[in-house]
Structure 1
């Protein structure tokens, strides 16, 4: 893949973990990268780090689950640059661990908003600007949980990711006439702060996860970023409505 010039990528939830590695990789590819997050201090630190590496980057602080804030900020970005070439809907997470019987309505709504509403709000706002982009595309994040229902306490997370799987295909159909591609990645167990609590409190559980991975190790966030770099590139110009597993064979359930 050659170096791109003049392209703009928006990455939600990008002040750490996989999201930041995606921003760094796309920045090195030549994109102007727009990072979103809710931790303004971390946002400023990430921008300083990217800028020091010669990457053109900006930070917009807003909650990706707030439709008005998403629309307002995506509009600002789109109007400033005149287009958006790639939208990476990186915001998401387990959110709340609770069995269905014990889960409150507020907890249910929070997890669905974090993983599914955020995709809808950002995609809806970005579409007018993606139409002006070059080989424009949207990347969403699903999970093995979308297929296997996840473990006890993560059922609503699985439900929300099942929704992401569906909205990816639906958006691909909806936007194909404009040449906008929509794909998803499904990361396996990636060694990031996302798993920090388990790693610190139950190291034996964290270590055991490796045994479920065909390649015998956990993934690195850079490996997810590399796949996303490909999916938004011209090399993937005939790929849409697909989900790429990035889990070292973990989906086989060995």
Structure 2
């Protein structure tokens, strides 16, 4: 998606949450390949450290911070690590998320609802709040939040809490884009379709969706790959997207174009 020669994110410092696996791990590798210095964050310390090793083996610069995005102090420490280690924070890919239980709404539990909202929506809010404080002082920055096609349309997979949370991420992104445009800060969301990740595998194992049905949701008739989402996020974070803000970008094989 770069369109011109040279790394998209050369010299920029980026935070990536949910970096232990899936889209987050792919983003760590893609952002590093595009020249970014990284703060990798995840509640899964072992997976996060493995991602760090992959980035460093490829010649990238990164640190890992064990972070639960639902805990304010840990989120604040993550952002402070970026500034302390690299001197500034240019972009953030708030990607941590969970799908929760795949059950009809009437059979869902309070604990499932709260957990899904806490991780996907409140976690994104807490990350944005800490990141925007730094970017506001700099008068520059770019934030990309991971939503989903479930943030654009309803999904019939027993994922009411997930769908509500991901719609909230889109709304939060748009509101922040308006609030911070005058400070030269852009805020966008990326909305993946069915992508081959542990999260999708969990939905398939639950019986809420078959792999064939997941492919069939998308006119391109295949699952997405994590690096395809990561490349979209990298472009949105880069200066090449300097006139793009408040967008919920589908990367979904055409699933939401009908």
Gap change, CA 1:117 and 1:200, over 3 Å in 2: closer
Counterpart contact for 2:15–2:40, Cα < 8 Å? yes
Report if aligned partners of 1:146, 1:165 keep a CA contact under 8 Å in 2: yes
Taking the aligned partners of 1:162 and 1:211, their CA distance within structure 2 comes to: 22
Q: Are 1:88 and 2:109 counterparts?
A: no
> How far apart, CA to CA, are the structure 1 residues paired with 2:100 and 2:143?
23
Which 5+ residue runs of structure 2 have no aligned equivalent? none
Q: Would you say how many aligned residue pairs link Structure 1 and Structure 2? A: 253
Shift in Å at residue 152 of structure 1?
4.8
Shift of the alpha carbon at 1:6?
A: 2.5
Q: 1:249 and 2:230 equivalent? A: no
Runs ≥4 residues deviating over 6 A: none
Alpha-carbon distance in 2 for matches of 1:97, 1:208: 15
Give the SS at the match of 2:210. Answer: helix
Find the counterpart in structure 2 of residue 144 from structure 1.
149
C-alpha deviation, 1:115, in angstroms: 0.7
2:126 matched residue in structure 1: 121
1:167 alignment counterpart = 172
Per-residue CA deviation, residues 25-54 of structure 1 (Å, 9 max, x unaligned), is: 110111001110112122222111110100
**Which whole-Å CA distance do the structure 1 matches of 2:183 and 2:162 have between them?**
31
- Conserved in 1, the CA contact under 8 Å of 2:186 and 2:245? yes
TM (norm. structure 1) is 0.92
Q: Do the aligned partners of 2:23 and 2:226 also contact (CA within 8 Å) in 1?
A: yes
Give 1:67 deviation, angstroms.
1.6
Answer yes or no: is the 8 Å Cα contact 1:27–1:33 preserved in 2.
Answer: yes
TM-score normalised by length of structure 2: 0.90
Higher deviation after alignment, 166-175 or 152-161? 152-161
Q: 1:5 to 1:213 in 2, by over 3 A?
A: closer
CA distance in 2 between partners of 1:76 and 1:100 (Å)? 39
Task: Provide the residue aligned with 1:130 in structure 2.
Answer: 135
Q: What's the CA shift for 1:220?
A: 0.8
For residue 182 of structure 2, what is the aligned residue in structure 1? 177
2:216 aligns with 211
Contact 2:29/2:54, CA 8 A, preserved across alignment: no
Residue 106 of structure 1: CA displacement? Answer: 2.2
Alignment partner of 1:101: what SS? helix
User: For 1:128-180, what per-residue CA distance to the aligned partner results, in whole angstroms no more than 9, with x for missing partners?
Assistant: 22235585100012222234332252111111111111100001011111100
Q: CA deviation at 1:7?
A: 1.1
- The answer as to whether partners of 1:82 and 1:132 remain within 8 angstroms in 2 is no
| Corresponding position: 1:75 with 2:80 | yes
Query: How far off is 1:10 after superposition?
Result: 0.1
Checking the alignment, whether the CA contact within 8 Å between 1:198 and 1:206 is kept in structure 2 is no
Show structure 1 runs of 5+ residues with no match: none
CA RMSD of superposed structures (Å): 2.1
Residue 14 of structure 1 corresponds to 19
Q: Mark the CA change 1:172 to 1:190 in structure 2 (over 3 Å): closer, same or farther.
A: same
Residue 243 of structure 1, CA deviation? 1.2
